[in-house]
Structure formats: C-alpha cells, structure tokens
Amino acid sequence: MTMALSGQYMTNGLLAAGVLLLKVLAVIMPITVVVAYLTYVERKVIGYMQRRIGPHRVGYRGLLQPFADVFKLLLKEVLVPASANRFLFLTAPFLALVPALATWAVVPFWRGAALANVDAGLLYVLAMTSMTVYGIILAGWSSNSKYALLGAMRSAAQMVAYEIAMGFALVGVIMASNSLNLDRIVVAQAGGLHHWYIWPLLPLAVVYFICGVAETNRAPFDVAEGESEIVAGFHVEYSGAGFALFFLAEYANMILISALVSIFFVGGWLSPFEGLVPILGKPGLHWLALKMAFFLFCFLWFRATFPRYRYDQIMRLGWKVFIPLTLLWIGLECVWKAVGFGPWF
C-alpha cells in the first residue's frame, strides 16, 4: 500500500518535473531564436543606417543568415591555446551564458506568467546579472593572452562601476512599488499611461538603461572588446562554439535588459491605452514585446551612431555622474514619500 502510494507520488513528481522542463524550454527556445534574429536585425539596421543593404544572400532577403552563422561557428575548430588553463578556459563561456538565460526564470511575460513568481525576484535578477562578470574575468585570465587580460580587467572595473548606479536606480523603483516581486512592480503601474514609473523616475530610467548598455559591454561602452585597440578583448582566444556561447550570452543579456527596463519603468505588459481605447487598452504579451523591440532597437541605434567612449570617460560617467544623480533622486523620492506625490507615491 505504502509502496504503491510512494510510487504514485513519484510519477506525479516526475510528471510535474516534465511539465516544468517543457515550460522552461518554452521560454529559453524562443529566446535563442530571438537572439539569432537579433543578430540579423542588427546587421540589417546598421547596414541601412550606413546606406548599405546588409546580409541578403542566404535565403529571401538574407533571412536564413543567422542559421548559416550558427552552422559556420559549430563547424569551426574549437581552439584552446597551449598556455591557457584548459578547464577554466572552457568553463568561462558557461559562466557568461547560464546567468544570461537563467535570469528569465523570474521575468513575468504577462500577469502571473513568470515561471518562478518569487518575492525576491529583483534580488535574484541582481545576483544573476552580477555573475556575468565572472565569465568575462575567467575568460580573460585563463586565455593567458595579454589582450584578453587587458579586456577582462577593463570590463571588470567598468561593470562594477555601473552596477552601483544600476542598484541605486532599482532602489528608486522599489521605493515606488514597495515590492521586489517583478509581477507586483508591473501591477503597481496599472491604471493608465500616467501611472508608469518613467514619469517620476525618468532620470533613473535613463541611468538604468545606459548602465544596461554598459553592463552588456555594448557600443559605445565596448572597451572590453575594442576591436581597434585590443582586437577582441576577453574573447580574443575563443573560436567556434566557445565564441558562439559568448555571443549568445551577450545578445541574451541585451534582450534581458530590454525586458527589465520595460518591466521596471514602462509598465511591462500593460497597454499605454489602458482605460482609453477598448481593444487596444488590453494588456498582453504583445505590449511587452513591442517595448522590448523599441529598447533593442536603441541598442543597435547607439552602436551605429555613437563613437566609442574613452576608458577614463566611462569611469567618470559611472562614478561622478550616475552615482550622484541616482543618490539625489533617492533623496527626492524620500521627500515625495513623506508629502505624497501623484499616483505614484
């Protein structure tokens, strides 16, 4: 009897685990597809901004280009430099990739649709996004190449500098929402366009997004790669599949930052026409997707238009502009909290 019962529990447990596994795949698979097409869109958008047409050979208008890229990367030799630390060299891409994908566990796609709808969601996001820097440092150090080490050092100092401003900006969001749960942060912004946090927290939103660009090592903050000075920075020694993993992690992080900005500041899955237009006012995944697409476009737009920052300029911007600005805004929010302000506080 007890045997049969425990057997039943076991099957139920296995079934639940199987369903959960399918759900996780249902989140990660679309993300990898979006990553693939983001590389295509990036090349197209930057191409058109520079009056070129971008990739157009593989498939209709080059639409199969990402797949060609994936196959090319997987068919290349995986090189491990002779003087490198082999184990760390092969571990580093995982330390970059796993946090970039695992953070999606707490991202709500619509009301209650986060796979892990946990109360400490925002803490989890911060913890996971901070992990990425280890992948970069390990990659740079274990390669035993001077360019790689230089890129890793630069990237580490830059990422920790911008992480502080990022954290302060998030404190501003929590002061308004009083919750670390991503779902509740969005729900707290319900009630129409003017309830979104971007209005009272505009400087924090700008700081957060720019820090996100810096954290993902994207142009104009891409001194960690800096093709023209240190060839490719921390991943100069990586080829084939190892390089593909870093690439995947970088783009997954871009998509993640776009999702987080949308959730924290512009109401996530909420419609801008809420309470104004009957059908358009309905919340849903498409609104989150649209907002994310806008921020992703900004990533590409920045890359096509801004020249790369000099390293001392990056450090100055992080420490001397963003941190004082976010501290000031937190102080201002304290005042708002005390006297009450608009629909937000």
Partner 1 sequence: MLAAYLAIPFFLVVAAGIGLFALAAGFVLGPRRPDPRKAAPYECGFEAFEDAHMPFDVRYYLVAILFILFDLEITFLFPWAVSLNHIGTAGLLAMVAFLLVLTIGFIYEWRKGALEWE
Determine if 242 is a binding residue for partner 1 (CB under 8 A). yes
Determine if 182 is a binding residue for partner 1 (CB under 8 A). no
Residue nearer to partner 1 on the CB measure, 244 or 300: 244
Contacts of 57 (CB under 8 A, 6+ apart): 65
- Scan residues 264-303 and list those touching partner 1 (CB under 8 A): none
Determine if 98 is a binding residue for partner 1 (CB under 8 A). yes
Q: Are 114 and 23 in contact (CB under 8 A)?
A: no
Q: Which segment (18-26, 271-279, 285-293, 300-308) binds partner 1 by CB under 8 A?
A: 18-26
Measured from the Cβ of residue 227, the count of other Cβ atoms closer than 10 Å reads 11
d(CA 267, CA 201): 13
Determine if 149 is a binding residue for partner 1 (CB under 8 A). yes
Q: How far is C-alpha 277 from the chain's CA centre?
A: 32
Give the total of residues touching partner 1 (CB under 8 A): 86
Determine if 117 is a binding residue for partner 1 (CB under 8 A). yes
Determine if 10 is a binding residue for partner 1 (CB under 8 A). no
What is each CA distance from 12 to 7, 16, 95, 116, in whole angstroms?
Answer: 9, 6, 33, 20
- Sketch the per residue contact string, 219 through 238, with partner 1: x for CB under 8 A, - otherwise: ------------x----xx-
What is each CA distance from 22 to 17, 29, 118, 219, 256, in whole angstroms?
Answer: 9, 10, 20, 35, 21
Determine if 330 is a binding residue for partner 1 (CB under 8 A). yes
Q: Which segment (38-46, 67-75, 200-208, 211-219) binds partner 1 by CB under 8 A?
A: 67-75
What is each CA distance from 125 to 26, 68, 120, in whole angstroms?
Answer: 20, 33, 9
Q: Are 175 and 333 in contact (CB under 8 A)?
A: yes
Determine if 189 is a binding residue for partner 1 (CB under 8 A). no
Among 215, 234, 323, 329, binds partner 1 (CB under 8 A): 323
Q: Which segment (116-124, 220-228, 267-275, 295-303) binds partner 1 by CB under 8 A?
A: 116-124
Among 35, 38, 139, 156, binds partner 1 (CB under 8 A): 156
Determine if 241 is a binding residue for partner 1 (CB under 8 A). yes
Find the angle CA(37)-CA(41)-CA(44) to the nearest 5 degrees.
140
d(CA 279, CA 27): 27
Determine if 244 is a binding residue for partner 1 (CB under 8 A). yes
Residue nearer to partner 1 on the CB measure, 79 or 190: 79
**What is the nearest approach in angstroms of partner 1 to the Cβ of residue 175?**
5
The alpha-helical segments, DSSP class H, found in the chain are 2-49, 65-74, 86-102, 121-142, 146-177, 182-187, 202-215, 227-230, 240-265, 285-305, 311-316, 323-339
Determine if 33 is a binding residue for partner 1 (CB under 8 A). no
Determine if 113 is a binding residue for partner 1 (CB under 8 A). no
SS3 53: coil
Determine if 20 is a binding residue for partner 1 (CB under 8 A). yes
